[in-house]
Chains A and B, each alone.
Chain A
Amino acid sequence: MRKAAGLRRLQPHRKWGYVSAMTDHASDSAPDAPTLSQLFLAFLAISLSGFGGTLPWAYRMVVEKRRWMSAAEFSEVFSLCQFLPGANVVNFSVVFGSRMRGVRGALVCLFGLVGPPFGIVLVLGALYARFADVEALGRVLAGMAAAACGLIAATAAKLAEPLIRSRAVWGWGIVLAAVLAIGLVGWPLPWVLLGLAPLSIALAWWERR
C-alpha cells in the first residue's frame, strides 16, 4: 500500500518523476504531501460546506480538487470508515490525515472537521436555550424538525438502493426487525445489536457460502 500511495502522490508532481516516490518510502510523509495547515483548511472547507451529509464534499476536495487521493483509494479508505462504528466522515478525516502526515495529520484533519462546526452549533444551542420561549422561534423549529425527519428517511432510502437491487430477502428481514425493535417497540440499542448483528452476518455468510 505504501508503494501505491507513493505512486499516487506523484500525480501533481509528474515533472520530478519517481524521485518523490522513493523519498516517500524513506520518510513517514512525502515532501509533496500536503502540509498540516493545508490539511486543516481543506477539512474546514469540507465541514463548512456540508449540510446534511459531508461525504460528497470530502470526495470533491480530496479526489477532484486537490488530487491527494485517487478515486479508488478514496473508496477503499471509505469502506473502512463505514466498516467500523462512528461517523463515517469523522473516521475518514483520521485515516486520511494519518496517511498524509501521521498522527499529527490525523489530529489536524479531525479538528478541522469537528472544531469549527462545534463552535457554530454551541452558539446556536445557546441562542435556543435563551430564546426557546419565543413562540415564533418554536413554530419555525417545528417546521424544520418535520423536514429533518424527511432528510433522515431519504438517507435510509439511498443506503437501501443496493439492497433493493440485490433482492436479498434476508436483508429486508433484518431491516424490518431493526425498524420494529428500535422504531416501534423502543428496545435498547445494545441488546438489539447483540441479537441482530451476528444474525445478519451469519445470513450474509450463508448467502455467499
Chain B
Amino acid sequence: MKPGILATLATHFLMLSMLAFGGANAVIPEIHRDAVAVSRWMTDQQFADLFAISQASPGPNILIVTLVGYQVAGVAGALVTTAAMCGPPCFFVYFAGQVWNRFRHARWRTVVQAGLVPVSIGLIAAAAMVLARAADHNWVAVLVTVATAALAYATRIHPLWMFAGAGLLGLARLV
C-alpha cells in the first residue's frame, strides 16, 4: 500500500459524497472513471465484479464504495471510503431535518427539486451505460442486461433470482 493512499481515498470520497444527487448510483460513473482510468486501482472487469457483489449483498447501495476501498487499501480503505461517503450527507441531513418543514412548501424548494430530478435520472442512466461497457463483452451478456432491466422494471421478482439465473448462465460459459 502506498503512503497517503488513505488520505487520497478520503478526500476523493468526501467530495463525491456531496455530489451524490440521486444517491450512490449517481456517482458510479465518477467512481469508475477514477478507479479504472485515472488512478488505475483496478481493471474494468474488477470494477464490474465488485459492483455485482455489492448489488447481490443486502444493504444500502453505497456498499460499492466499501468494496472499492477494500480493493485499494484493505479494511482501513473500506472504513475510510464508507465513512467519507456517509459522513458529510448525514451531517447536513441531520441539521436540515430540523428546519425542513419550514421550507416544505417554499417555491424555491419545489423548483430546485424539480430541477435536480432530470439530472439524477441522467446520471443513473449513465451509470448503467458505464457498467454495461465494463461488463457486457458479448451478445448474451447484453441480452442478460436487457432482460434483467425489463424484469426489474415490470415485475416484482426478487433481484436475487435474477442474479442466480445470470450467474448460472455465466458458469455455463454463455456470458
Interface residues of A (CB under 8 A from B): 1, 47-54, 76-77, 79-91, 94-95, 98-99, 103, 106, 110, 113-114, 116-118, 120-122, 124-126, 128-129, 132, 136, 138-160, 162-163, 170-172, 174-179, 181-184, 186, 188-190, 193, 196-197, 200-205, 207-208
Query: Which B residues are CB-close (under 8 A) to A53?
Result: 61
Which single member of B71, B88, B107, B162 contacts A125 (CB below 8 Å)?
A: B71
Task: Say yes or no: A51 contacts B160, CB within 8 Å.
Answer: yes
Q: Mark B48-72, 1 if CB is under 8 A from A, else 0.
A: 1111111111111111001100110
Q: A94-B97, A125-B66, A143-B169 are in contact. Are A151 and B137 (CB under 8 A)?
A: no
Q: How far is the CA of A126 from the CA of B30 in the complex (A)?
A: 24
Which 5 residue pairs across A and B have the least CB separation, nearest first?
A86-B89, A178-B122, A143-B170, A117-B59, A150-B148
| B149 in contact (CB, < 8 A) | yes
Q: How far is the CA of A79 from the CA of B114 in the complex (A)?
A: 11
How many A-B contacts are there with CB distance less than 8 Å? 378
Query: Which B residues are CB-close (under 8 A) to A152?
Result: 25, 28, 124, 127-128, 131
| B7 in contact (CB, < 8 A) | no
Q: How many residues of chain B have a CB within 8 Å of chain A?
A: 112
Interface residues of B (CB under 8 A from A): 15-25, 27-30, 33, 37, 45-46, 48-63, 66-67, 70-71, 75, 78, 82, 85-86, 88-90, 92-94, 96-98, 100-101, 104, 107, 109-132, 134-137, 141-142, 144-153, 158-160, 162-163, 165-171, 173-175
